[in-house]
């Protein structure tokens, strides 16, 4: 996810709070937040803020301060974040690594790991690999036997799940929906019956089309939340049915980073045929009472009803 500071809606980092201390390149005072620590050789995935620059962990700053080699999806963004927090780059390498240059850049990072160096990687915003680059790099490092660890922290998906007001005990992060209409509708149809809260990313330009398709495929009464510009100045969460949230964005201009959270599919009502099929299988290895109890619990049916059904099957 793209990292943005608090400022003009949809803008890149602007008007960020800089704590007192040393002076940065722009003549503003900042405090060095990271501490120099001994890092074991290996690959360190570092989560970075999705909006508010202070949403970074102390350990992440320590790793950015101490790693032998730094790599980033967007080197300008990481430089700016380090400047805000007073983390010096010094004479260390800062390499660009993203989806479009991974095949060329990965060997350089793997060579650094082979030399026993510590390598820190940050995506533009949020947690690497979560709809962001890093998977191929991590897999290559693991295959080569290097340490691979993480400095966990901000994630737009988890932040949205936190504020959506929907069940969070079981959820599926599905990333970005396909941009083409037919592919998107098929993709959504495959997700419609998933018994978990769904978390999707979407661009402002495609939000209305996504919400329209969701209402048609999932049903207009399915609960949902559209979370926009999380942790930024213009943060907004619109909650309601899919019909409600689609109406909320029908006419207005849409800007910023967007996460859509959709309630899980309602459980399918168990039929008599379902209960009978499960009972026949259960009665092969269980008593009537135990078989009835296990099937009733599995299907959410009254025990007495299932027990009577089990008696008839046993007698017949």
Host domain of residue 90: 22-154
- The candidate with the shortest Cα–Cα distance to 196, out of 286, 133, 262, 274, is 262
Listing from the earlier edge strand, what are the strands of the sheet with 118-122? Answer: 93-96, 69-72, 118-122, 42-46, 148-151
- What is the enclosing helix (H) or strand (E) of 199? strand 197-202
292 lies in the same domain as 246: no
Say what the pLDDT of residue 269 is: 65
Give a yes or no: residue 139 inside a domain: yes
Say what the pLDDT of residue 90 is: 95
Answer yes or no: is pLDDT of 115 > 60.
yes
User: What's the CA gap between 70 and 122, in Å, rounded?
Assistant: 8
193-243 confidence digits (pLDDT tens): 898 999 999 999 999 999 999 999 999 999 999 999 999 999 999 999 999
Say what the pLDDT of residue 28 is: 53
Answer yes or no: is pLDDT of 107 > 90.
yes
Domain boundary among 135, 154, 173: 154
Report the CATH number at residue 220.
3.30.950.10
- The candidate with the shortest Cα–Cα distance to 70, out of 78, 80, 59, 58, is 78
Answer yes or no: is pLDDT of 21 > 50.
no
User: What's the CA gap between 307 and 316, in Å, rounded?
Assistant: 14
Average pLDDT value for residue range 36-42: 96
74-104 confidence digits (pLDDT tens): 999 999 999 999 999 999 999 999 999 999 9
Average pLDDT value for residue range 142-149: 98
Answer yes or no: is pLDDT of 296 > 70.
yes
pTM: 0.77
31 lies in the same domain as 46: yes
User: What's the CA gap between 15 and 10, in Å, rounded?
Assistant: 13
Secondary structure letter of residue 173 according to DSSP: E
Half-sphere exposure of 171 (CA within 13 A, CB side): 22
Say what the pLDDT of residue 26 is: 53
Give a yes or no: residue 11 inside a domain: no
Locus of tokens 């992440």: 60
Give a yes or no: residue 13 inside a domain: no
37 lies in the same domain as 136: yes
Question: How many domains does the chain fold into?
Answer: 3
Instruction: State the average pLDDT for the chain.
Output: 89
Answer yes or no: is pLDDT of 182 > 50.
yes
Number of H helices, E strands in the chain: 11, 12
Say what the pLDDT of residue 80 is: 97
> Which residues are 126's β-sheet partners?
48
User: What's the CA gap between 84 and 64, in Å, rounded?
Assistant: 13
Domain boundary among 133, 154, 175: 154
In order of 29, 32, 87, the CA distances from 23 in angstroms are: 4, 10, 12
Locus of tokens 């927090």: 85
Give a yes or no: residue 267 inside a domain: no
Average pLDDT value for residue range 24-48: 79
279 or 107: which carries more pLDDT confidence? Answer: 107
114, 144 contact by CB (below 8 A): yes
Answer yes or no: is pLDDT of 286 > 50.
yes
How many C-beta atoms lie closer than 10 Å to residue 133's C-beta?
Answer: 22
Say what the pLDDT of residue 268 is: 65
Where does the pLDDT of residue 11 fall: very low under 50, low under 70, confident under 90, or very high at 90 and above? very low
28-37, 106-115, 147-156, 216-225 — which is least confidently predicted?
A: 28-37
Where does the pLDDT of residue 314 fall: very low under 50, low under 70, confident under 90, or very high at 90 and above? confident
Give a yes or no: residue 3 inside a domain: no
5-9, 56-60, 125-129, 176-180 — which is least confidently predicted?
A: 5-9
8-12, 69-73, 139-143, 189-193 — which is least confidently predicted?
A: 8-12
Average pLDDT value for residue range 170-199: 95
């Amino acid at each position: 996810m793209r990292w943005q500071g608090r400022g003009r809606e949809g803008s890149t980092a602007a008007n960020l709070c800089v704590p007192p201390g040393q002076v940065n390149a722009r003549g503003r005072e900042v405090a060095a937040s990271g501490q120099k620590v001994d890092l074991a050789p290996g690959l360190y995935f570092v989560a970075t803020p999705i909006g508010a620059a202070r949403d970074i962990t102390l350990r992440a700053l320590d790793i950015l301060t101490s790693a032998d080699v730094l790599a980033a999806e967007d080197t300008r963004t990481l430089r700016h974040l380090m400047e805000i927090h007073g983390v010096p780059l010094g004479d260390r390498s800062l390499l660009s690594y993203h989806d479009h240059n991974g095949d060329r850049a990965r060997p350089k990072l793997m060579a650094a790991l082979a030399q026993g160096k510590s390598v820190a990687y940050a995506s533009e915003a949020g947690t690497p690999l979560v709809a962001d680059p890093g998977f191929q790099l991590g897999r290559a490092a693991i295959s080569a036997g290097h340490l691979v660890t993480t400095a966990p922290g901000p994630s737009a998906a988890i932040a949205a799940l936190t504020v959506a007001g929907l069940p969070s005990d079981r959820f599926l992060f599905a990333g970005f929906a396909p941009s083409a209409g037919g592919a998107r509708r098929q993709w959504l149809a495959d997700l419609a019956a998933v018994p978990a809260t769904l978390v999707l990313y979407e661009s402002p330009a495609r939000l209305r089309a996504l919400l329209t398709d969701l209402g048609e495929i999932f049903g207009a009464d399915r609960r949902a939340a559209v979370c926009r510009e999380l942790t930024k100045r213009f943060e907004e969460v619109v909650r309601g049915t899919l019909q409600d949230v689609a109406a909320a964005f029908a006419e207005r201009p849409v800007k910023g980073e967007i996460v859509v959270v959709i309630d899980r599919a309602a459980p399918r009502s168990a039929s008599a045929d379902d209960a009978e099929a499960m009972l026949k299988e259960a009665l092969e290895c269980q008593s009537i009472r135990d078989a009835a109890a296990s099937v009733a619990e599995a299907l959410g049916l009254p025990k007495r009803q299932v027990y009577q059904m089990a008696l008839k099957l046993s007698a017949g």
